[in-house]
């Protein structure tokens, strides 16, 4: 088997005394679409920022193509939870800016054409000249996606790219992702808190336990066959099997651990306060 494109070994990260991630291990191979699914606040963005090279781990190693990740690279494009477009530039110019940085050898006309091609892929050919404020949330996220794809990175990192959208727009963009991935076969790591979304899109799901000290469970291969059509999934026993496997992990490693920890903390603080009450003033 070939070497993984991305490899995380025993990665840990704390903010001050708060351990957010512990012993995170992950392998991603070229051409895979992997979804990491986890609870809100468990450390998903922290993990993505480390893979993007924006944040250093406290423990462990992150390797890309066998080399330690030491900073950002155009080979690892990150699409954020919120669209992060430059508000004073049109959709076309937002994409062009990234294309120019990634492919400095292209002429202005080639950059324009390259950017336009990707905006057309995400069905925004009619809105090239509009600024972000003139676009709906779904359209803005399409621009972000076009920008990420147009950079043609070795791996596309998507941090809850559909999280800020209403349910209908979200479903529409999920279908768009399915279609694009069938055409493009990119290597993608996507983070989401939506199990159905993950099963619809991924080749493999890595479930993240709830923090503090969140970590990945064993990876769950998605057996639901492709091409996937959301309207038919409900009748597909593989889909239900995959969905259940992910939910089972998440429910077993969910915030009840935190609740237990909170209840232990409460008990400890009750003991502390009664100790304080008997302390002579």
C-alpha 56/C-alpha 50 separation (Å) is 6
We find the least distance from the C-beta atom of residue 266 to ligand ATP, in angstroms, to be: 19
Supply the DSSP symbol for 85. Answer: -
46 binds ligand ATP (CB under 6 A): yes
Take residue 176 and report the two structure tokens written for it: 């768009």
Q: Which is nearer to Mg ion, 4 or 163 (CB)?
A: 163
Interaction with Mg ion in 25-64: which residues (CB under 5 A)?
44-45
Select from 31, 40, 88, 266 the one that contacts ligand ATP (CB under 6 A): 40
Of the ranges 40-48, 104-112, 233-241, 255-263, which one interacts with ligand ATP (CB under 6 A)?
Answer: 40-48
Supply the DSSP symbol for 127. Answer: G
- Report how many residues bind Mg ion under the rule CB under 5 A: 2
82 binds Mg ion (CB under 5 A): no
Of the ranges 22-30, 33-41, 111-119, 259-267, which one interacts with ligand ATP (CB under 6 A)?
Answer: 33-41
1 burial level (CB within 10 Å; 0-12, 13-18, 19+):
exposed
Q: Which is nearer to ligand ATP, 144 or 193 (CB)?
A: 193
We find the least distance from the C-beta atom of residue 160 to Mg ion, in angstroms, to be: 6
Query: What DSSP letter does each residue of 102-163 carry, written as one string?
Result: H-TTS-HHHHHHHHHHHHHHTT-GGGTT--GGGS-HHHHHHHHHHHHHHT--SEEEEESTTT
Which helix (H) or strand (E) segment holds residue 33: the answer is strand 33-38
42 binds, among ligand ATP, Mg ion, none (CB under 5 to 8 A by kind): ligand ATP
| Inter-residue contact 115 to 151 (CB < 8 Å) | no
Phi, psi of 262 (to 5 degrees): -65, -40
57 binds, among ligand ATP, Mg ion, none (CB under 5 to 8 A by kind): none
Nearest residue (beta carbon) to Mg ion: 45
Select from 3, 15, 88, 264 the one that contacts ligand ATP (CB under 6 A): 15
- What mask, x for binding Mg ion by CB under 5 A, covers residues 132 to 161? ------------------------------
Which of 141, 158, 191 shows the shortest CA–CA distance to 79? Answer: 158
161 binds, among ligand ATP, Mg ion, none (CB under 5 to 8 A by kind): none
Cis peptide before 227 (omega within 30 of 0): yes
| Number of residues written out for the chain | 281
Take residue 262 and report the two structure tokens written for it: 């909170």
- Report how many residues bind ligand ATP under the rule CB under 6 A: 11
Query: What DSSP letter does each residue of 62-81 carry, written as one string?
Result: EEETTEE--S--TTEEEE-S
Select from 35, 36, 43, 150 the one that contacts ligand ATP (CB under 6 A): 43
The phi-psi region of residue 39 (left if phi > 0; otherwise alpha if psi is between -120 and 50; otherwise beta) is beta
Take residue 143 and report the two structure tokens written for it: 């621009």
20 binds ligand ATP (CB under 6 A): yes
- What mask, x for binding ligand ATP by CB under 6 A, covers residues 180 to 209? -------------x----------------
Which of 238, 204, 209, 240 shows the shortest CA–CA distance to 219? Answer: 204
Please report, as ranges, the residues that interact with ligand ATP according to CB under 6 A.
15, 20, 38, 40-46, 193
Please report, as ranges, the residues that interact with Mg ion according to CB under 5 A.
44-45
């Amino acid at each position: 088997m070939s070497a993984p494109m991305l490899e995380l070994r025993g990665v840990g990260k704390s903010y001050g005394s708060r351990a957010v991630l512990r012993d995170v291990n992950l392998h991603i191979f070229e051409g895979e679409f992997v979804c990491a699914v986890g609870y809100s606040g468990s450390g998903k963005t922290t993990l993505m920022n480390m893979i993007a090279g924006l944040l250093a781990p406290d423990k462990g190693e992150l390797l890309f193509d066998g080399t330690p990740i030491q900073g950002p690279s155009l080979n690892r494009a990150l699409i954020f939870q919120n669209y992060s477009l430059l508000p004073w530039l049109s959709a076309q110019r937002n994409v062009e800016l990234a294309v120019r940085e990634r492919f400095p050898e292209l002429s202005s006309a080639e950059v324009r054409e390259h950017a336009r091609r990707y905006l057309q892929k995400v069905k925004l050919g009619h809105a090239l000249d509009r600024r972000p404020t003139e676009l709906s949330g779904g359209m803005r996220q399409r621009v972000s996606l076009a920008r990420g794809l147009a950079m043609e990175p070795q791996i596309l990192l998507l941090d809850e790219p559909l999280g800020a959208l209403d349910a209908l727009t979200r479903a529409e963009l999920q279908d768009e992702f399915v279609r694009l991935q069938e055409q493009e076969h990119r290597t993608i790591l996507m983070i989401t808190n939506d199990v159905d979304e993950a099963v619809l899109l991924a080749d493999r799901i890595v479930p993240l336990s709830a923090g503090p000290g969140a970590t990945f469970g064993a990876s769950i291969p998605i057996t639901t066959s492709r091409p996937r059509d959301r309207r038919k999934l409900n009748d597909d026993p593989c889909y239900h099997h995959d969905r259940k496997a992910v939910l089972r992990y998440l429910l077993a490693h969910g915030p009840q651990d935190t609740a237990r920890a909170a209840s232990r903390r409460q008990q400890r603080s009750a003991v502390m306060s009664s100790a304080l009450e008997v302390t002579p003033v």
